[in-house]
Chains A and B, each alone.
Chain A
């Protein structure tokens, strides 16, 4: 017998046997989220409008996100200890905790899960944002919309209260501040990974070894707190498993990045984002099924490349962005509609090689060193330099430096980073104030004129370069 949600879940890659196994859990979750037949119809149209569901890999990725949502919503009911981390987050600690107790722990970035499911699949994110605004993070105060989603999710009771929060201020001090407020409101424990992001302009990729030692110590302190609160010991073995799981996803993403350099661009940047963002949100099922979905997607995309099939005109200007779509795919689709191939993000190419050979003693120091090289946790200059390196490596035609208006580390560099990237790559760079998580004030329509003019500019540049040749 077909049930009202079957169509949507099948559209999102669920197989018959999975439907059978998951049915009870799915129904519990849909009841909790107040998603009935009408919402399923809306979601079906929304998914078809925003995603290339002719690709099995895309459907499986959507399915991986849905499974993550199910596991998140039911974690507490199913007796799991719940741990939350924020976005952006230092890669690894969450994965390591999960690897240390795979059956007993649910660990994720719940706000990112809600963005990809309640946003990208169900188009029902606004009530959650509004609940966040009503419960401590009011509108009009320049507050982070991602944090509003977390607070809204908790206030509405759709995500469970955590047993522990990983509070990190290494990149975003705002997340740690909200964790503090949530502790005051709900009383759950927070383990802080203290940090400091003050680096000199021009220092990247070098860094002071003391910073690595400090971050390593902070992570160790954090794991002590995990042990004390959850009675879970994160061993070297758990770290090893965590890193192996991440490597699996990133190796698939590397292959996908290569395929995205094909002309014409074979698949929308929205779909590659579905894969990339898993690493920032999940430590559980989605991280297990995600790499399989990426592998299927790569095979399908490879066939498109071989046949010269693209979703955008051949020769379209290729651009690099900071982050891909997170809660609203229409922003990236708008960029593609005006003729830009959104083919790469700052995270698309591997990190630079370690420039200093200092033998770091613990897994946490090794992790800290890699994080520092990734740039985001280093400094504003590191972001500019990563833009330069990625733009040069992938030979893009332009950069859209879309920054989160409410993010202090991000928005402070709105002008400086644009100028630096322009001067050091010679590429036109559009500094675009936007909101990755809440498109109420930054809709695709509102940003369209700027992006369209930028696309015209890039095409004129291509044409004049062609004339010169």
Chain B
């Protein structure tokens, strides 16, 4: 059975193609200005890699903020449920997921059967999200992929007092004018973002295993501070950005089986 999961996020769109429980391939593209276009391109790329066509897909589930715009998906599900499912495929001991994406951040608590038992999500502010890092990277002229490694070199993290992304950007410019070291600025930025997420997640509590997903999980600086703050080791899947899409593909399999059973 071939299923696909499509995660249309604010920053990137992801597709995962699954053969039963085995991931065949995935694709990641920037979402850009049209979610409909992104949904069409991301699946096309994944199918090309797998040597498959649309007709080979038995069931497609979409997720992410643009989940309703995926015309070829038979069902749309929330990122929260999809992340739980995606993490459970390879990390069955996971009890807490920290997911930081481009537009939102969440902490999700799971039971032993990977059911979501509680969750908390940032409200309407970009401060605890990947967008915060993107804006700061722009303000400091640093490649986003370099931010994490450079932040680890900071010996005296700057205090970033603004939790608002726009005001923090102005604050960066002022701190740069004061000739603060780039590494210390980055360490401060990473601490500010991580604190937002930890404070949010503390209302649920962190129980091990803690798994970190979403594009920001690729940032070693954020991972290190999160570990320090919550006092637990954090596991990062090999490709953390596609966990939502992977979960959607797994749920697509379940949906397909359920619908086949009903049709019999």
Known: A449-B65, A464-B113. A456 touches B77 (CB 8 A): yes
Please report the C-alpha to C-alpha distance between residue A460 and residue B111 in the assembled complex, in whole angstroms.
12
Q: Which of B79, B80, B104 counts the most chain A CB atoms within 10 A? A: B80
Q: Is B203 at the interface (CB under 8 A from chain A)?
A: yes
Contacts of A428-454 to chain B: CB distance below 8 A: 428, 431, 433, 441-442, 446, 449-450, 452-454
Contacts of A412-426 to chain B: CB distance below 8 A: 415, 418-419, 422
Q: Which of B88-96, B114-122, B133-141, B211-219 contacts A (4 or more CB under 8 A)?
A: B114-122
Pair B78/A456 contact, Cβ less than 8 Å? yes
Closest to A456 in B: B81
Known: A433-B123, A442-B124, A446-B124. A453 touches B118 (CB 8 A): no
Known: A428-B118, A464-B113. A456 touches B123 (CB 8 A): no
Pair A449/B116 contact, Cβ less than 8 Å? no
**Which residues on the B side are within 8 Å of A449 (C-beta)?**
65, 78-80, 104, 121
SS class, residues of chain A in contact with chain B: helix
**Which residues on the B side are within 8 Å of A446 (C-beta)?**
124
| A/B interface sample: 5 pairs, CB < 8 A | A449-B65, A450-B121, A454-B119, A456-B81, A460-B115
Q: Is A457 at the interface (CB under 8 A from chain B)?
A: yes
Q: Is A461 at the interface (CB under 8 A from chain B)?
A: yes
Please report the C-alpha to C-alpha distance between residue A80 and residue B149 in the assembled complex, in whole angstroms.
72
**Which residues on the A side are within 8 Å of B120 (C-beta)?**
431
**Which residues on the A side are within 8 Å of B124 (C-beta)?**
433, 441-442, 446
Size of A's binding interface in residues, CB under 8 A: 20
Known: A446-B124, A464-B113. A453 touches B203 (CB 8 A): no
How close is A400's CB to chain B, nearest CB, in angstroms?
13
Pair A456/B113 contact, Cβ less than 8 Å? no
Please report the C-alpha to C-alpha distance between residue A428 and residue B120 in the assembled complex, in whole angstroms.
12
**Which residues on the B side are within 8 Å of A415 (C-beta)?**
203
How close is B211's CB to chain A, nearest CB, in angstroms?
17
**Which residues on the B side are within 8 Å of A454 (C-beta)?**
119
**Which residues on the A side are within 8 Å of B65 (C-beta)?**
449
How close is B61's CB to chain A, nearest CB, in angstroms?
12
Closest to B203 in A: A415
**Which residues on the B side are within 8 Å of A457 (C-beta)?**
81, 115-119
**Which residues on the B side are within 8 Å of A456 (C-beta)?**
77-78, 80-81, 116
Q: Which of A428, A446, A454, A457 counts the most chain B CB atoms within 10 A? A: A457
Smallest CB-CB A-B distances: 7 pairs: A453-B80, A453-B78, A452-B78, A456-B81, A457-B116, A433-B123, A460-B115
14 extra A-B contacts, CB within 8 A, seeds A418-B203, A433-B124: A422-B118, A428-B117, A428-B118, A431-B120, A441-B124, A442-B124, A449-B78, A449-B80, A449-B104, A453-B79, A453-B116, A456-B77, A456-B78, A460-B115
Contacts of A378-430 to chain B: CB distance below 8 A: 415, 418-419, 422, 428
Q: Which of A433, A452, A453 counts the most chain B CB atoms within 10 A? A: A453
**Which residues on the A side are within 8 Å of B113 (C-beta)?**
464
How close is A426's CB to chain B, nearest CB, in angstroms?
11
**Which residues on the A side are within 8 Å of B78 (C-beta)?**
449, 452-453, 456
How close is B130's CB to chain A, nearest CB, in angstroms?
16
How close is A130's CB to chain B, nearest CB, in angstroms?
19
How close is A428's CB to chain B, nearest CB, in angstroms?
7
Closest to B104 in A: A449
How close is B261's CB to chain A, nearest CB, in angstroms?
15
Please report the C-alpha to C-alpha distance between residue A170 and residue B214 in the assembled complex, in whole angstroms.
46
How close is A449's CB to chain B, nearest CB, in angstroms?
5
Please report the C-alpha to C-alpha distance between residue A419 and residue B205 in the assembled complex, in whole angstroms.
11
**Which residues on the A side are within 8 Å of B121 (C-beta)?**
449-450
How close is A339's CB to chain B, nearest CB, in angstroms?
12
Closest to A405 in B: B123
Please report the C-alpha to C-alpha distance between residue A453 and residue B81 in the assembled complex, in whole angstroms.
7
Please report the C-alpha to C-alpha distance between residue A454 and residue B81 in the assembled complex, in whole angstroms.
9
**Which residues on the B side are within 8 Å of A422 (C-beta)?**
118
Contacts of B66-92 to chain A: CB distance below 8 A: 77-81
Please report the C-alpha to C-alpha distance between residue A464 and residue B123 in the assembled complex, in whole angstroms.
30
Please report the C-alpha to C-alpha distance between residue A422 and residue B124 in the assembled complex, in whole angstroms.
24
Please report the C-alpha to C-alpha distance between residue A457 and residue B123 in the assembled complex, in whole angstroms.
19
How close is A141's CB to chain B, nearest CB, in angstroms?
14
How close is A34's CB to chain B, nearest CB, in angstroms?
31
**Which residues on the A side are within 8 Å of B115 (C-beta)?**
457, 460-461, 464
| Residue from the list A433, A441, A460 in contact with B116, Cβ < 8 A | A460
Closest to A433 in B: B123
Closest to B119 in A: A453
How close is A2's CB to chain B, nearest CB, in angstroms?
40
Closest to A446 in B: B124
Please report the C-alpha to C-alpha distance between residue A422 and residue B109 in the assembled complex, in whole angstroms.
14
Closest to A450 in B: B121
**Which residues on the B side are within 8 Å of A433 (C-beta)?**
123-124
